Amino acid sequence: MSTIEKALAKQKAAQAKATAEQPQVTEQEAPAASTPVATTQPIEEAATASGNLTVCVDTESMNERGYLIDEGNRKNIKEEFRQIKRKVLNNAFGRIGQTLDNSNLVMVSSSKPNEGKTFVSINLALSIALEQDKTVLLVDADVLRPSINRELGVPDTEGLMEYLLHEKNDIGEVIYNTNIDNFKLIPSGKVHHLSNELLASERMKSLAKELAKRYPDRLVIFDCPPIVGITETVVLSEHVGQAIIVVEESKTQLANITEATEQLSEELAIGFVINKSVRSHKDKYGYYGYGYYK
């Protein structure tokens, strides 16, 4: 090896050592930019101080699609989800919460597919994340048709399935911080032929108890599969304290709503959100839905 080659090798070794000694920077720690970080970036490989990985939510794209990102616009939908949020928080941490098991665990579902339950799940989580003294954990439990990662604009990664399959021993290994304050995520994870059965397993039951007790000041929102025709969703409902049923206006049949709610436990605090409700042609975002929760 020539003298020049030896010098280059020595320089590369020094650079590698310096890089290894530098602290890892997550997306949350990066300097603020005028536009959100592009979603094509991979998941951050470095662990945060809490031991969780970090994913970067594509806030710009979400804002364009009607999610509660923009501080200045969407006043109507923000107020609607604020009302829903207040009922959920009161049920979780107020007087009613003392009568419910796992009152801080909330499932969001619908009678049939494509009624907007994921849109409601994400917006409710975003609204709760604005609270000063609460955090929210969004769990993609729709294991057959997972869509949370896609809607948030983050890459597919390990999540709930890996934990239920014992590939991850600690649930903290699949809880991801995000670049949105107070907003955490458990993705669905890989597709598995026993996904529904795993959702109804004893390990899932134990996980629900752990999430309820380990983080008593946190709301956990499960975006669940539709109720009608999927028995595992009904089993999952036995582990939560609250259920929100999303109803698409002028489309969802009353018979389907009745069939769905009759399968849920009477011990649950059950509410309904009317989605895609058109109230005014002047309201640009009105079709996203007027909701109520009781």
CATH of the domain at 277: 3.40.50.300
pLDDT tens digits along 235-293: 999 999 999 999 988 778 888 889 988 999 888 999 999 887 655 444 443 334 434 45
Q: Which of 269, 276, 257 is nearest to 110 (CA)?
A: 257
The C-alpha atoms of residue 86 and residue 98 are separated, in whole angstroms, by: 16
- Whether 251 is covered by a domain: the verdict is yes
Half-sphere exposure of 172 (CA within 13 A, CB side): 9
pLDDT for res 71: 57
- Whether 195 is covered by a domain: the verdict is yes
pLDDT for res 73: 61
For the entire predicted model, the pTM comes to: 0.78
- Whether 162 is covered by a domain: the verdict is yes
Residue type, 154: V
Helix and strand tally (H, E) in the chain? 10, 8
What confidence category does residue 52 fall into, taking pLDDT thresholds of 50, 70 and 90? Answer: low
Q: Which of 172, 110, 108 is nearest to 141 (CA)?
A: 108
Say what percent of the chain tops pLDDT 70. Answer: 74
- Whether 142 is covered by a domain: the verdict is yes
Token pair 């998941």 is found at 43
Domain of residue 203 covers 3-288
Q: How many domains does the chain have?
A: 1
- Whether 294 is covered by a domain: the verdict is no
Q: Is the dihedral of CA 30, 35, 36, 39 positive or negative?
A: negative
- Whether 293 is covered by a domain: the verdict is no
Weakest-pLDDT range from 33-37, 68-72, 269-273: 33-37
Q: Which of 106, 78, 77, 110 is nearest to 248 (CA)?
A: 110
Parallel, antiparallel, or unpaired: how do β-strands 176-178 and 183-186 relate?
antiparallel
Is residue 51 over pLDDT 80?
no
